[in-house]
Structure 1
């Protein structure tokens, strides 16, 4: 089994920007790239779990978000760090448009993204940790039995 460090994205690894998708708007929170590298170096899978209501609302596309995620990994690579996987929820039960207006199991505080990552990466939750900046991040991690810390 693997151990994992789960991170929320907005407000946890990058400075909060409402509906971030533009590369030029990305700014890492000080010390976070180095923290990610520390977990990489210590054998943890580093996994992002992020609600992306901007997709649901039609503000940007899934491809816009994937482009930003590729850029995040390119920036982390400069210090020898990386994110193993990005899990995202593009849904919103009230403000979603079209196929994105869904009351899903992946939107935090529901645990769907974390549960999928646990399955995909054979994660030992007792050896794992989650970092988030919102109550719903912590709730989702705790529902999966993961030590969850507010940053």
Structure 2
């Protein structure tokens, strides 16, 4: 049924659960997967601890290293499942756009992604990337949620 799955990761345990789900689904369907991590641009507004006291080059190098680490994990999980895998680490400011653009360019037919379950006001204030993908995607999306 599905032949090419896109699985975005942020390195979280829930994201890893989505990778395992994608690998199992890909194996069942004889599909391949593409792992995605979006490298964040440096902003003067601090939104992560490593930005305090960091310059643009240091921050970008740290985020590229993080991308490599997280995407190597996607490759490892795919290899353990016997699934073909490639990866992508685009730069951008909006993860949902990177997810949708990559899915289109790579001709994926399913997106498998985690949702951290921030509902209600907190979810609205944080701006769920999963919600944005669900709203703007024309592809089917499998959302992996945290256990209750």
Instruction: Report the TM-score when normalising by structure 1.
Output: 0.53
**Greater RCO, 1 or 2 (C-alpha within 8 Å, sep 6+):** 2
Output the CA distance in 1 between the equivalents of 2:73 and 2:143: 25
Per-residue CA deviation, residues 92-146 of structure 1 (Å, 9 max, x unaligned), is: xxxxxxxxxxxx4xx223x244223422x334xxx42442315312422541312
State the SS of the aligned residue for 1:78. Answer: helix
Unaligned runs of 5+ residues in structure 1 are 17-26, 92-103
RMSD between aligned residues: 3.5
User: How far did residue 36 of structure 1 move?
Assistant: 1.0
Unaligned runs of 5+ residues in structure 2 are 43-50, 52-58, 117-127
Per-residue CA deviation, residues 1-23 of structure 1 (Å, 9 max, x unaligned), is: x8432223137xx416xxxxxxx
Question: Relative to 1, partners in 2 of residues 1:50 and 1:137: Cα closer, same or farther, differing over 3 Å?
Answer: farther
Report which of the two structures shows the higher radius of gyration computed on alpha carbons.
2
Stretches (4+) displaced over 6 A: none
Number of equivalenced pairs: 116
Question: Relative to 1, partners in 2 of residues 1:82 and 1:138: Cα closer, same or farther, differing over 3 Å?
Answer: farther
User: How far did residue 42 of structure 1 move?
Assistant: 1.2
Instruction: Report the TM-score when normalising by structure 2.
Output: 0.53
Residue 130 of structure 1 contacts residue 149 of structure 1 at CA under 8 Å; is this kept in 2?
yes
Name the one with the larger helix percent. 2
User: How far did residue 66 of structure 1 move?
Assistant: 1.6
